[in-house]
Amino acid sequence: MAQRSALVTGATGFIASHLAPALVAEGWSVRASGRRPRPDWLPAEAEYRSVDFVDGDGDDVRALVEGITHVFHLAGASSSKSSDDEMRRNNVVATERLFAAIAAAGTVERALHMSSTSVYGEEVQLPSPVPEDVGAQPSRGYGKAKYETEQVVWRHGEAGLAVVVLRPVSVHGPGAVKLLASAILDVAIERFMGLDRLAVHRPAVEQRLVHIDDLVRATLHLATHDEAPGRAFNIVSGVYPTSHEIAGILAAHFGMTVELDDDPDCGPPYEDRQAAWAAMRDKGMTDSIILTKERFRFMRKANRNNRLALDNLLGTGFELRHTDPQVEVVADADWCRDSGWIV
């Protein structure tokens, strides 16, 4: 069998930092692309090209897919640092240009697109757990951009390209800089401030997570599974801890106790947290994790469509490994401390 050749877009991002090395380890020939300089963590065996899908040279985009058998399209603007216009340009327009080049190349056997469960939206009640074939109702700019990007991918699928769409939830694990990582930073800050009680808003909010290892393994699995093309797959742990449970795990790990509060803005104000964060940096902590102005922002997002069907993924024979919040949340916190991301 000829060696498979992978193109990984968005190669300077978190998911790619785990996927590209995994592909190399499994013997794939890897070409990676991004808009920034080559990342230090990229294996020496992987080729790297700096390409801008939106404003770059069309010849560069076309050359990028030459000789490629599998595309792993991870590139795209996120909701945390981009305007709605930037999200549309760097998701929808970028994907239109890339997939046009894929179609023209004629060598690509399968194209996998990393979408998001945000396409389901939060305002309209959908069946629970939400199946992949439900009528999506994106309600925010990020979800709308991801939904429109998926339509680009599906159109190429209808034209004969073998496409697979992955819809992960909040991804955590070593190297993550937001969401659960930001919550870990928030607790570390308050412990640094000398607090022994962790104030949490009284209403419990159900969370959903997937570990980066499970997401990468699912991506590799679907890249070669015979039944994957033409389908979308929710990627989630299948376990839904509440904000109280996650806070309790973190509080216990940092030597604190949880205190429920009726005030949604309970806890130290942003100015005090920011001052403690600066003091932690003075002690050698890096600023890798995003400090959110809204305390525990990740854990405050209630979603009526929170639970997701896993039949499509599990039906392919895939098995999730990271499904115990007690183990996984503590492991993330330990990794952040060992890496100097918290003190």
29 sits in which H/E element: strand 29-34
Give the domain CATH number at 10: 3.40.50.720
Examine residue 231 and state whether it is found in any structural domain, yes or no: no
Predicted pLDDT of residue 47: 98
Radius of gyration (C-alpha) of the chain in whole angstroms: 20
Report yes or no on 229 lying in a domain.
no
Number of C-beta neighbours around residue 252 at 10 A: 14
Domain count, the chain: 2
Give the other-Cβ count within 10 Å of 49's Cβ. 14
53-57, 204-208, 232-236: least confidently modelled range: 53-57
Buried (b) or exposed (e) across 302-338, using 16+ Cβ within 10 A?
ebebbbbbbebbeebebebebbebeebbbbbbebbbe
Q: What percent of the chain has pLDDT over 70?
A: 99
| Exposed e or buried b per residue across 168-203, where buried means at least 16 C-beta atoms within 10 angstroms of its C-beta | bbbbbbbbbebbbbbbbbbbbbbbbeebeebbbbee
The predicted model gives 234-244 an average pLDDT of 98
Asked if 165 contacts 230 with a C-beta cutoff of 8 angstroms, the reply is no
pLDDT-based confidence at residue 220 (cuts at 50, 70, 90) = very high
Q: Do 191 and 142 reside in the same domain of the chain? A: no
181 and 93 together in one domain: no
Element (H or E) spanning 103, and its range?
Answer: helix 94-105
Calpha distance 341→281 (Å, rounded): 9
pLDDT at 151 over 80: yes
**Domain that includes residue 201, residue range:** 173-208+240-300+322-338
Name the least confident of 80-89, 141-150, 181-190: 80-89
Query: What's the token pair of residue 73?
Result: 């399209």
Q: Do 41 and 12 fall into the same domain?
A: yes
Report residue 228: phi and psi, to 5°. -80, -40
Same domain, yes or no: 40 and 82: yes
Please compute the mean of the pLDDT values over residues 283-295 and round it to a whole number: 97
In a shared domain, residues 94 and 72 = yes
Cis before residue 129, ω within 30 degrees of 0?
yes
Q: What pLDDT sits at residue 130?
A: 98
So what's the pLDDT on residue 83?
84
Rounded to 10°, the helix 212-224/14-25 angle is 50
Same domain, 145 and 125: yes
pLDDT at 1: 45
Q: Same domain for 288 and 178?
A: yes
Q: Is residue 115 part of a domain?
A: yes
Mean pLDDT for the chain overall: 96
**pLDDT tens sequence across 114-129:** 999 999 999 999 999 9
Sequence-ordered alpha helix ranges (H) in 109-210:
141-158, 180-192
Rounded alpha-carbon distances, angstroms, from residue 322 to 175, 250, 327, 329, 331: 16, 17, 8, 10, 11
pLDDT tens for each residue of 14-24: 999 999 999 99
Nearest to 11 by CA among 38, 3, 29: 38
- Provide mean pLDDT across the span 26-39: 96
pLDDT digits (tens, 9 = 90+) for 164-203: 999 999 999 999 999 999 999 999 999 999 999 999 999 9
For residues 85 and 102, the model is more confident at: 102
In the chain, the largest separation of any two C-alpha atoms, in whole Å, equals 62
In a domain, 84, yes or no: yes
Is it the case that residue 144 has pLDDT exceeding 50? Answer: yes
Q: Are residues 203 and 127 in the same domain?
A: no
Predicted pLDDT at 86: 87
